[in-house]
Structure 1
């Protein structure tokens, strides 16, 4: 009886997560599926992939398999250790019934108490493999995130056919962008991923939201940030200024004595949600240039009138 390296068959590490194992299985099952692949020994590869997945997807079977150690090489003569199965219960016959093949002697010896020649669904074209989920990024504007929108997009969807080679086809989709979507959020499109085989369901398509750079705003979660230039007199005396938000223009009161870098908050003026985000205004003091003699004289006069040194604390240290 030959030892089978199930991790090598799926092309994953021994530390692979359950999701990594599932993705590897779906990818290889599509590549070697007898209904679509013309590769030599495709059916044998498909059987090996299915058997490996049956073991590694099951927490108990995987733990038992891992106890065999790492000293074995694929194809080596193998005998289970003495007392094998004494600490495990594999009598629930949990093997999937969607496959149409015999499991290997190696599998049957380790995990099955019944006949190793048990077959599942002898129809030659009854292989079923659910389609793999697909991921893609979708770049939208902040205005679309605020108001919601419908986008017509064309996506390149991978398919496998012929000799098992991966190809792409173009699929046009109308995608509804919900108001209040944030960067990194994923929109799920059911059964728009990789096609299933043998009548199995397609995978899902997940579109991860990314924002286009904006001329005025930047987003952090649902909060929106705007840098607002103000004059020295608006800073010193206070003022009311019209400022832009994603929902339209609003009036903002600048308190007297405001400083550059200070933040003011407009509650609920960020992206919609429960609760909605806020808009933060970062004040940026802009000093007007002194080009003429009159303008320079004004600054000289200010220097004389104001006994003000912003570096006073710095000089004491």
Structure 2
């Protein structure tokens, strides 16, 4: 038996009344703990996908509203269904899904087959006598590079079974986000429309960037004199080259931020771009460099191992 899906609020560990900032803070904390790049536990990747899907829904006001109304069925319930009618038709389980209420809740008595009565409204498949049956919704994974997710654009994909589609990727998609392709799912019968295809976005590992929500992280190599004296240095971002100001006295491990240079967001503020400093020294020194470093060592009273 398939395990019930966990409630998205439970996945993120937040109250159902949590605001957007609370949801984002919880997501960032969990991503740092379960990102496959940092957590090698065999179950970390599945947990990361679960966290990403929950955040993609709860951080979007419209998807959250429908999820609160319909639970995990929110993608299958037609837009015209009234949440109050749906609530009278069933009760939410602990997994965020719904089960049918007794038929007498609708005033039809106990001899009515509620599944037959409501099959069309709630996505269940009616029996043969009900005529044409709409196609089932389907899911597929869409793996993107950081740059593809940032810029969006057109992309050809091959689905299981060999079917090819050209997909429009909106700019700024995030891990776990779904792209809905109407009428590209399972075929309907007797002339009924096909179901929808939901592409679940996965952002692939990148040699330079790490994505957390809409924030992008990278490392910034600095020469010792740039870190000590301060500098303005060029840095690559998915949106192009930017200039980053390094304050004097910067040590390895310090995070510098470029506001709004993270992942784009069509419906709100963009994420931030973070660069973690790594101070680099030459693997080999020229005679002049060695002489200068020896002069610095003799003149400096700085002790990096002294406790404050």
Q: TM-score, normalised by structure 2?
A: 0.59
Q: What is the match of residue 90 of structure 1?
A: 110
User: For 1:95 and 1:208, how far apart are their aligned partners in 2?
Assistant: 30
Cα deviation digits, residues 88-129 of structure 1 (max 9, x gap): 952666452699xxxxxxxxxxxxxxxxxxxx99xx775444
Q: Does 1:152 align with 2:149?
A: no
Q: Does 1:288 align with 2:292?
A: no
Matches within 5 A, 1:186-265: 186-265=178-257
Cα 1:129–1:12 shift into 2, 3 Å: farther
Deviation at 1:258, TM superposition (A): 0.9
CA contact (8 A) 1:98 1:128 kept: no
Q: Does 1:179 align with 2:171?
A: yes
Q: What is the match of residue 24 of structure 1?
A: none
Cα deviation digits, residues 255-277 of structure 1 (max 9, x gap): 11111111111111111111111
Q: Which runs of 5+ in 1 are unaligned?
A: 1-10, 22-55, 65-87, 100-119, 157-168
User: For 1:183 and 1:16, how far apart are their aligned partners in 2?
Assistant: 18
Cα deviation digits, residues 278-309 of structure 1 (max 9, x gap): 11111111122344554434333322211122
User: For 1:313 and 1:93, how far apart are their aligned partners in 2?
Assistant: 75
- State the SS of the aligned residue for 2:162: strand
- Which structure's residues are more often helix, by fraction? 2
Which one has a bigger Cα radius of gyration?
1
Decide which of 140, 149, 167 is 2:144's aligned counterpart. 140
- State the SS of the aligned residue for 1:256: coil
Matches within 5 A, 1:1-317: 58-60=100-102, 89-90=109-110, 94=114, 96=116, 127-156=131-160, 169-273=161-265, 274-313=268-307
Range moving further from structure 2, 299-308 or 249-258: 299-308
CA contact (8 A) 1:148 1:180 kept: yes
User: For 1:189 and 1:182, how far apart are their aligned partners in 2?
Assistant: 17
Cα 1:176–1:228 shift into 2, 3 Å: same
Between the two proteins, the alignment pairs up a number of residues equal to: 211
User: For 1:95 and 1:280, how far apart are their aligned partners in 2?
Assistant: 52
What is the RMSD computed on CA atoms of the aligned residues? Answer: 3.5
